[in-house]
């Protein structure tokens, strides 16, 4: 059974049956994430399952989204798609979070034992934004630069570079 994950929920209640949850969360609802990406115009898709392990309730699943970022080589816009597994452990307070084994990632619930989905997933999504986003190969960057008429100086001056000539051939 697949259900929509509520915006705010109590994990203890949701862990009682084996329901799989789905959630679509606009990036624009994530303030910190919005300040990092060049445009927060995509959705975050989450599929998740709650489970109990010893004294803890866990949420695990997969987060997928597309980041719109600025390429740090050619400064044009680019997309980075991610689809990453996650596993988080709910705890009642910061003290209990610090007691968790290092391999477990804690999420601190509010005083009512609840959490909002933005608070739950925003850090996890930010974690996967590349530090220095770049088009995967130089050719893509150069194509962008050509479009904008901003050729690197050595090409403008007609430097004889056999690799440049090969690259131009490949484009046709």
Residue 135 CB, shortest distance to Zn ion, in Å, is: 4
State the Cα–Cα distance between residues 39 and 28, nearest whole angstrom. Answer: 9
Determine the size of the site formed for Zn ion (CB under 5 A). 5
Residue 86 CB, shortest distance to Zn ion, in Å, is: 29
State the Cα–Cα distance between residues 126 and 35, nearest whole angstrom. Answer: 11
Touching Zn ion, residues 100-139 (CB under 5 A): 135
Residue 78 CB, shortest distance to Zn ion, in Å, is: 6
Touching Zn ion, residues 1-60 (CB under 5 A): none
Q: Which is nearer to Zn ion, 30 or 74 (CB)?
A: 74
DSSP the chain: -EEEPPSEE-HHHHTTS--EEEEEEEGGG-HHHHHHSSB--SEEEEEEEEEEETTEEEEEEEEEEEEEEE-TTT--EEEEEEEEEEEEEEESSHHHHHHS-TTS-EEE--TTS-EEHHHHHHHHHHTTS-SS---SSHHHHHHHHHHTT---HHHHTT---HHHHHHHHHH-
Q: Which is nearer to Zn ion, 59 or 135 (CB)?
A: 135
Q: Which is nearer to Zn ion, 25 or 74 (CB)?
A: 74
Touching Zn ion, residues 56-85 (CB under 5 A): 71, 73-74
Residue 166 CB, shortest distance to Zn ion, in Å, is: 20
Q: Does 141 bind Zn ion (CB under 5 A)?
A: yes
Q: Which is nearer to Zn ion, 71 or 88 (CB)?
A: 71
Q: Which is nearer to Zn ion, 77 or 93 (CB)?
A: 77
Residue 36 CB, shortest distance to Zn ion, in Å, is: 18
Where along the sequence are the contacts to Zn ion (CB under 5 A)? 71, 73-74, 135, 141
């Amino acid at each position: 059974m697949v259900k929509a994950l509520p915006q705010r929920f109590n994990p203890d209640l949701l862990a009682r049956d084996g329901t799989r949850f789905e959630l679509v969360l606009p990036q624009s609802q994530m303030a910190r994430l919005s300040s990092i990406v060049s445009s927060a115009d995509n959705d975050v898709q989450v599929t998740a399952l709650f489970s109990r392990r010893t004294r803890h309730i866990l949420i695990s699943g997969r987060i997928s989204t597309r980041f719109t970022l600025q390429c740090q080589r050619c400064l044009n816009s680019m997309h980075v798609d991610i689809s990453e597994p996650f596993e988080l452990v709910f705890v009642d307070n910061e003290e209990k979070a610090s007691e968790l084994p290092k391999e477990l990632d804690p999420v601190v619930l509010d005083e009512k034992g609840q959490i909002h989905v933005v608070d739950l997933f925003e850090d996890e999504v930010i974690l996967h934004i590349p530090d220095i986003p770049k088009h995967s190969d130089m050719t893509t960057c150069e194509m962008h630069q050509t479009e904008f008429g901003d050729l690197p100086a050595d090409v403008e001056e007609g430097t004889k570079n056999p690799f440049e000539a090969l690259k131009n051939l490949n484009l046709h």
